Amino acid sequence: MEKMRIAYFDCFSGISGDMTLGALLHAGLDESEWRAQLTKLNVPGYDISVERVVKEGISGRQVDVKLHEADRGHGRHLADIESILNSSGLSEKVCSRAFAVFNRLASAEAKVHAAPIDQIHFHEVGAVDAIVDIVGSCIGLEMLGIERVYASPLPLNRGWVECAHGTMPVPAPATLGLLEGFKFRPDEREKELITPTGAALIAEYVERTPTGETAILPPMTLRAIGYGSGQRNTWIPNLLRVIIGDID
């Protein structure tokens, strides 16, 4: 019987781009080949460190994209991102999926700011480290042969985050706007648990029902587990768990 490889994002501590990368690498993504693919993006000025970390007794991988200097081009528009992807040597599938992620981000920002999508500036999300997080995640999912993605309910909490537009409540308005159709559960931590990059990735990849709600995880055979670390420490392990399996 033919099998299909799927991934379940268990977001008990939220999700971000770097957490996604760490989880995929910890689940068995070949780091050397992944780095080789990422060089095809042809965006210079950064290094990537991948380290083993332990959060509240659970080991995982922490990925840090370190810029050589501050990225002065973080006011990029959607057209700038499209140009970067089109001039890369990455596969058409990766470029198409990565652009779809950024298009979702731009649409969410446009709705929040009541502005045309082509006038939206990607601030933090347009910086090289965020581009690498998103494109690197798309590369990783393709390399692992993931055909469908599912996600757990997400933590809905309170707090504040500083961004280019000032002080925003968490989840940030555009972040929350990306997640229509997702299920939420209360969380008491007053930290940003869901970043725009993390929200955009699952908004693009996660399976939906015809009504737009997130699909329920089908029965699967477990094949691999990965934990990706965030940059913060909380009493709940600041990890994203990715569970990879097969379905008939």
Give the pLDDT band (50/70/90) at residue 177: very high
pLDDT in tens, 53-109: 999 999 999 999 999 887 765 678 899 999 999 999 999 999 999 999 999 998 998
pTM of the model: 0.94
Q: How many CA atoms lie within 13 A of 78 on its CB side?
A: 18
pLDDT in tens, 111-158: 887 888 887 767 666 788 999 999 999 999 999 999 999 999 999 998
Give the span between the Cα atoms of 159 and 202, in whole angstroms: 22
CB atoms under 10 Å from CB of 180, counted, come to 10
Q: Where are the domains of the chain?
A: 4-247
Q: Where are the alpha helices (DSSP H) in the chain?
A: 17-26, 31-39, 78-86, 92-113, 128-143, 173-177, 196-205
**Mean predicted lDDT score pLDDT of the chain:** 93
pLDDT of residue 113: 78
Give the span between the Cα atoms of 41 and 48, in whole angstroms: 14
